[in-house]
């Protein structure tokens, strides 16, 4: 139900739509198409002037509707898997520049958070904002110890505005999904829910401060990127204090050249830094644009460093997401579309009954034009987008974190090629990708996994005999029944076979380990030594450990 406040907001939204001719676009939707004749009966359409392209009009409407709609447009621009290209591209240009609120209000918010006067905390506080955005604005200040800081203050009453406008968005999305199959397919309510979560998270300065601290810790000691330090003692839910850093805005190319910055190296370093965040740290800055990225020129021949700011939107990837990306990138570069299709089916990204040959053909159709160009001109972001759009036709549900990654890659590519038009993004990203592959695939991965899990395996080893007898008792007492016409009969047989296999492996493994101990006591002085132990002890003990580990791993895969 629409509240009075929302009703008046609807009227103001309607005026903005009429001003930009978007009421005409509304009548092209399936819901209102049959009533299009009403468009010509509305008085404001009798003298309608010429309007610009639809994408430009949509962007201008969102900008005029205020900060919450601007933020919604920015989030919506990441959903290029279903938005038309012209609208997605135009929405990506939405800038978060909104009029500042009075500095006295900012001072009052800070004093309420600290419970004391601003002068008791800061030696100097500038009420004139340094920057203003939809969620918060930034002021400069200096601490009592002389440190220069920035103070980020959340806008007053922003939660009320968010609640009102998101309520309207949800009503519109619900109506579209109810009366339009296209609305249901686009999952508009899901988009609104995703947006609400994102913007509510951005309101919490403690969360943003934690993001900044994590990124700073990940790049501690790095010569490529410097993350400002958070002053935790002065950070609250609606106020954040952070070290003030100076640098050159990354889109000021001429100024960077004058300071002697190597733009080619800077572009490659930026790509490497981003993919290091993605593949090494599973945690990346997802709001990369020129306003959030500064450059500190190097001194005495040292390379320039990146300085990111605004940590409200961060992305993270699971091991599964990383493997999906790495293996698909590799298969794409080899133009092995069959493998790309198989990876999607094997991993469950698309339904198991998907025909691999049809999926392979669809991927080849959209991707071959991309590869009909030099490798340096191939866009990773465009490649991911094509993949998502194709997979969506085969009922693949694209996860939000992958769409956020794709949008960020597009921004990184844009900035990188602004610095160096000849940037080969694939070559710049290769070190991070190869390092991840070496760390996650092969012997190093096995050794790391074994080192991490051996204490758990040893801890669970005493459970094996008891678990075995428990299963046998259940079978003997009839609690596990084997029925000839039970559809789970084959599964039960497999479980029983695994139990027997585990028993044998466990007994053999423990026996070999005991034998190794005996051998160490008997022949320690006469056998060939490798390190502190005889060769035979290493062989028997190693085989015994492998057998015990195999028994425990079988327990994990059995599902019991």
Contact status, residue 520 vs residue 432, Cβ threshold 8 Å: no
Nearest alpha-carbon partner for 355 in 369, 345, 343, 368: 345
Output DSSP code: residue 503.
H
Q: How far apart are the C-alpha atoms of 120 and 419, rounded to whole Å?
A: 44
Q: Across the strands, what pairs with 138?
A: 131, 152
Q: How far apart are the C-alpha atoms of 107 and 3, rounded to whole Å?
A: 32
Q: How far apart are the C-alpha atoms of 293 and 284, rounded to whole Å?
A: 14
Backbone torsion region of residue 10, taken as left when φ is above 0, otherwise alpha when ψ lies between -120 and 50, otherwise beta: alpha
Output DSSP code: residue 303.
P
Q: How far is C-alpha 159 from the geometric centre of its chain's CA atoms?
A: 25
Q: How far apart are the C-alpha atoms of 419 and 410, rounded to whole Å?
A: 14
| Active-site annotation holds for 287 | yes
Output DSSP code: residue 294.
E
Give the strand pairing for 283-285 and 529-530.
unpaired
- Helices 263-276 and 400-419: crossing angle, nearest 10°? 170
Output DSSP code: residue 293.
E
Q: How many residues does the chain have?
A: 560
Nearest alpha-carbon partner for 191 in 362, 302, 319, 76: 76
Q: How far apart are the C-alpha atoms of 221 and 9, rounded to whole Å?
A: 50
Residue with tokens 């580990």: 549
Output DSSP code: residue 232.
G
Q: Which of 165, 287, 310, 424 is catalytic?
A: 287
Q: Which two tokens stand for residue 380?
A: 């990773």
In the chain, helix, strand, coil percent, each to 5? Answer: 65, 10, 30
Other CB atoms within 10 A of residue 462 CB: 9
Nearest alpha-carbon partner for 533 in 545, 550, 515, 521: 521
Q: Read off φ and ψ for residue 101, nearest 5 degrees.
A: -95, 160
Q: How far apart are the C-alpha atoms of 128 and 126, rounded to whole Å?
A: 5
Name, in order, each residue with C-beta under 8 angstroms of 507's C-beta and a sequence gap of 6 or more.
Answer: none
Q: Which helix (H) or strand (E) holds 153?
A: strand 148-154
Nearest alpha-carbon partner for 12 in 69, 53, 56, 93: 69
Output DSSP code: residue 186.
H
Nearest alpha-carbon partner for 261 in 221, 220, 294: 294
Strand ranges (E), 218-329: 239-243, 248-249, 283-285, 293-296, 305-308, 314-316
Q: Which two tokens stand for residue 279?
A: 């593949």
Q: Which two tokens stand for residue 333?
A: 């570069």
Active centre residues (catalytic): 287
């Amino acid at each position: 139900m629409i509240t009075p406040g929302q009703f008046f907001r609807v009227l103001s939204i309607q005026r903005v739509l009429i001003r930009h001719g978007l009421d005409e676009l509304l009548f092209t939707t399936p819901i209102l198409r049959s009533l299009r004749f009403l468009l010509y009966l509305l008085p404001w359409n009798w003298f309608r002037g010429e309007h610009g392209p639809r994408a430009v009009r949509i962007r201008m409407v969102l900008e005029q509707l205020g900060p919450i709609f601007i933020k919604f447009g920015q989030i919506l621009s990441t959903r290029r898997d279903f938005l038309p290209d012209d609208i997605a591209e135009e929405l990506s240009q939405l800038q978060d520049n909104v009029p500042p609120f009075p500095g006295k209000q900012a001072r009052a918010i800070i004093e309420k958070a600290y419970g004391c006067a601003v002068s008791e905390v800061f030696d100097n506080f500038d009420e004139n904002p340094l920057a203003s955005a939809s969620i918060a604005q930034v002021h400069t200040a200096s601490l009592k110890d002389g440190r220069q800081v920035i103070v980020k203050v959340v806008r007053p009453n922003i939660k009320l505005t968010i609640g009102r406008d998101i309520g309207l968005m949800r009503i519109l999305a619900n109506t579209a999904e109810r009366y339009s199959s296209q609305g249901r397919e686009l999952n508009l309510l899901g988009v609104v829910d995703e947006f609400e979560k994102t913007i509510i998270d951005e309101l919490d300065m403690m969360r943003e401060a934690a993001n900044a601290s994590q990124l700073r810790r990940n790049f501690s000691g790095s010569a490529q990127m410097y993350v400002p330090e958070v002053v935790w003692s002065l950070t609250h839910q609606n106020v954040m204090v952070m070290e003030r850093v100076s640098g050159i805005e990354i889109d000021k190319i001429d100024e960077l050249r004058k300071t002697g910055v190597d733009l080619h190296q800077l572009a490659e370093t930026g790509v490497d830094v981003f993919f290091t965040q993605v593949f090494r740290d599973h945690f990346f800055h997802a709001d990369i644009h020129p306003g959030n990225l500064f450059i500190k020129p190097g001194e005495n021949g040292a390379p320039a460093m990146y300085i990111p700011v605004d940590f409200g939107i961060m992305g993270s990837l699971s091991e599964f997401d990383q493997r999906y990306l790495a293996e698909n990138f590799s298969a794409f570069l080899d133009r092995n579309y069959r493998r790309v299709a198989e990876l999607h089916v094997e991993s469950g990204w698309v339904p198991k009954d998907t025909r691999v040959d049809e999926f392979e053909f669809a991927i080849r159709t959209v991707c071959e034009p991309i590869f009909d160009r030099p490798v340096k001109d191939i866009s990773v972001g465009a490649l991911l987008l094509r993949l998502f759009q194709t997979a969506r036709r085969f009922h693949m549900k694209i996860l939000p974190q992958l769409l956020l990654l794709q949008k960020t890659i597009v921004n990184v590519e844009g900035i990188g090629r602004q610095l160096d038009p000849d940037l080969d993004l694939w070559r710049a990203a290769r070190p991070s990708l190869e390092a991840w592959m070496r760390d996650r695939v092969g012997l190093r991965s096995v050794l790391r996994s074994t080192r991490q899990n051996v204490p758990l395996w040893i801890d669970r080893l005493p459970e094996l005999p008891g678990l075995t007898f428990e299963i046998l008792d259940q079978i003997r007492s009839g609690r596990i029944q084997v029925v000839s016409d039970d559809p789970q009969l084959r599964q039960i047989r497999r479980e029983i076979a695994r139990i027997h296999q585990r028993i044998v492996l466990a007994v053999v493994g423990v026996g070999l380990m005991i034998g190794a101990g005996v051998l160490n006591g008997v022949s320690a002085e006469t056998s060939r030594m490798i390190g502190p132990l005889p060769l035979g002890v290493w062989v028997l003990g190693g085989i015994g450990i492998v057998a015990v580990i195999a028994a425990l791993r079988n327990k994990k895969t059995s599902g019991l």
